[in-house]
Amino acid sequence: MLGRGTPEAIDGDVAGDSGWDCANQTTFPVNLSGGSTVEATLFWMNDDTDFHLAVS
């Protein structure tokens, strides 16, 4: 089920952590100092007791 699960670890490696594979996700632009823009990804999911968010 998409958006339901528990991340394996909070270790800073969202993209390489298969525990986030079932998370919902969306991309959005992030403005950096100096005027450049990069794309970031917001991940979210829940389990029986917690709501989990991550940004990569």
Read off the pLDDT of residues 17-56 as tens digits, 9 standing for 90 and up: 677 888 899 999 999 999 999 999 999 999 899 998 988 8
Number of domains in the chain: 1
* pLDDT at residue 14 in the model: 65
17 Cβ contact list (under 8 Å, min separation 6): 7, 8, 9, 11
Does residue 5 surpass a pLDDT of 90? no
- Can you tell me the mean pLDDT for 1-12? 68
Q: Which residue has the higher pLDDT, 10 or 21?
A: 21
2 Cβ contact list (under 8 Å, min separation 6): 22, 23, 24
Range of the domain at 8: 1-56
Q: Which residue has the higher pLDDT, 25 or 11?
A: 25
Q: Quote the distance between the C-alpha of residue 45 and its chain's center.
A: 9
